[in-house]
Amino acid sequence: MHPAGSAAAGTPRQPSKRRIPVSHLGMADPHQLFDDTSSAQSQGYGAQRGPSGLGYPTASASPQAAFLADPVSNMAMAYGSSLAAQGKELVDKNIDRFIPVTKLKYYFAVDTLYVGKKLGLLFFPYLHQDWEVQYQQDTPVAPRFDVNAPDLYIPAMAFITYVLVAGLALGTQDRFSPDLLGLQASSALAWLTLEVLAILLSLYLITVNTDLTTIDLVAFLGYKYVGMIGGILMGLLFGKIGYYLVLGWCCMSIFVFMIRTLRLKILAEAAAEGVPVRGARNQLRMYLTMAVAAAQPLLMYWLTFHLVR
Amino acid sequence: MIQPQQPYTGQIFQPTQTFSPTAPQPFYGNSFEDEPPLLEELGINFDHIWQKTLTVLHPLKVADGSIMNETDLAGPMVFCLAFGATLLLAGKIQFGYVYGISAIGCLGMFCLLNLMSMTGVSFGCVASVLGYCLLPMILLSSFAVIFSLQGMIGIILTAGIIGWCSFSASKIFISALAMEGQQLLVAYPCALLYGVFALISVF
């Protein structure tokens, strides 16, 4: 016997690894130290391994294939590749549970014209008349086709631009370091999350029947970053006067924008009739709308004043 | 899954090239002369690399949608290394930042493009396009070696090169993914990404 053969295979002793008695294969070299697996007459070898194998093809037993032909590495390879396939399936299946990809795609179905008009609306909402989102068989139309529909492209880009512009502003004041960027980003994100949760809680408490989804809310609350960027850039170019002027203008605009948009979502029945709100329920909803709209300028100031000196 | 191996026809103790665990094409045969040339096996096709580079360098030429069919990361790797090398010439040892920003930027663009387009993209395709369009940025950083970019000329040059990079990148993305009316929307995040690279070159 040759312990070297089993040791080389690295497996516990298996009957298949035992050296085949010479007489069975017709080899006439009793001094051979290793398994002679060089010839095609290794059917005996293969057949002996068959029952213990895992059903993989054992066509040849060349030394190079001995690694792969070894049942344990067969199993390891099969397991590895099936694990990879399973992992991918798992990710694909579960990513939809945490992040509703198809719903998100609706919010990114934008084009350049829409973005241009929406940005104009964010800076000058006073002349726009019709704020109602158009519907098409019960589903709102994509943002491409209606400037009143909320989208997530502008808030996402505005957020990233805000973080970069904040970095730039800090850089001009010689207060820049890369971790400060991360700090700005996470603090802005934290405030956004807090806002969304507070508004969701209030909507729940006031038991309002609205079709305002969470993603819609995130979109609306993200529009204020556009004004913040404008304010910071003006502050960088023209100092505190420029900052206050532009920020004041953007605060007014976002206030009006939010009131007009949320009125249609939260105060749906009253707005549809066009009558002034009466009654306790409508009062509460009106207060909620005012509170949300008033929080926007406050947050805009809070998140930018330390960037402009 | 396990390709049936050729029966061993050589002598024991003599090396021959019969075992190639990653050879997917059986017709490549087992002998040394039949092996494909190294570049072909590695998937580096110089002609394609050159074509893609020309597409980047002519921002006004209409791009062909099919050039991005094979994702090839060899070109982008070379460009990233060249960018780092030109930064090194200017005395800024910032390979880490270059790689970090490229990784985050590619991830961000991958998510955005998957959400914005009808057909999805693969991560390799995004990384490949963004890497190729880094080429004009190498020009900028080589200028930074010779003279400082912090004056008015430097600002104008930087803005021009950022515009060039993002315009080419958005042009290739638009033609490869058949997105109409969204070129500026794709160019803006690319401009943000290349703007960060430019910040590294300038400051």
Of residues B162 and A102, the one with the higher pLDDT is: B162
A38 assigned to some structural domain: no
Q: What pLDDT, in 10s, does the model give residues A172-209?
A: 887 777 778 788 889 989 999 999 999 999 888 888 77
Put simply, the chain A residues between 214 and 253 with a CB less than 8 A from any chain B CB are: none
Q: Which residues contact B62 (CB under 8 A, 6 or more apart)?
A: B171, B175
Residue A164 lies in a domain: yes
Q: Do B116 and A156 touch (CB under 8 A)?
A: no
Cβ neighbours of A105 in B, within 8 Å? 115
pLDDT of the residue at A61: 47
Nearest to B5 among A60, A153, A161 (CB): A60
Does the beta carbon of A60 lie under 8 angstroms from any beta carbon of chain B?
A: yes
Q: Cβ–Cβ of A59/B5 closer than 8 Å?
A: yes
Q: Name every chain A residue with its beta carbon within 8 A of the beta carbon of B181.
A: 111-113
Confidence check: pLDDT of B97 > 60: yes
Question: What pLDDT sits at residue B19?
Answer: 60
Does any CB of chain B come closer than 8 Å to the CB of residue A77?
A: yes
Which of A153, A174, A237 is most worth mutating to test chain B (most B CB atoms within 10 A of its CB)?
A153
A–B: how many Cβ contacts below 8 A? 77
Residues of A in contact with B195 (CB under 8 A): 164
Q: What is the mean pLDDT of chain A?
A: 78
A22 is a domain residue: no
Burial pattern B3-14, b for ≥16 Cβ within 10 A else e, equals: eebbebeeeeee
Chain B hits for A35, CB-CB cut-off 8 Å, are: none
A171 CB neighbours in chain B (<8 A) are 203
Most confidently modeled range among A24-33, A139-148, B39-48, B88-97:
A139-148
pLDDT band at A43 (very low <50, low <70, confident <90, very high): very low
A124 domain residue, yes or no: no
The neighbouring-strand residues paired with A139 are: A136
Between CA A61 and CA A68 the distance in angstroms is 10
Give per-residue pLDDT as tens, B132-167: 888 888 888 888 888 877 788 888 899 999 999 999
Distance from CA of B195 to the nearest CA of A (A): 10
At A137-147, the pLDDT tens digits run 878 888 888 88
CA quadruple A40, A44, A46, A50: dihedral, nearest 10: 160
Q: The pTM is what?
A: 0.72
- Check if the interface score ipTM surpasses 0.95: no
pLDDT tens across B25-44, in order? 555 455 667 777 777 776 66
- The verdict on A161 touching B (C-beta cutoff 8 Å) is yes
Q: How many CB atoms lie within 10 A of CB A149?
A: 21
Residues 6+ apart with CB under 8 A from A300: A224, A227, A228, A231, A247, A250, A251, A254
Domain annotation covers residue A252? yes
Is residue A250 included in any domain, yes or no? yes
Which residues on B lie below 8 Å from A43 (Cβ)? Answer: none
Quick check: helix, strand or coil at residue A136? strand
| A98 lies in some domain | no
Nearest to B181 among A61, A113, A156 (CB): A113
pLDDT in tens, B64-87: 666 666 677 778 888 888 888 888
**Nearest 10 degrees: Cα torsion A262, A266, A269, A275:** -50
CA distance B126 to chain A (A): 18
The domain containing residue A262 runs over which residues? 153-305
Tally of structural domains, chain A: 1
Place of tokens 């369009």: B133
* pLDDT at residue number A26: 47
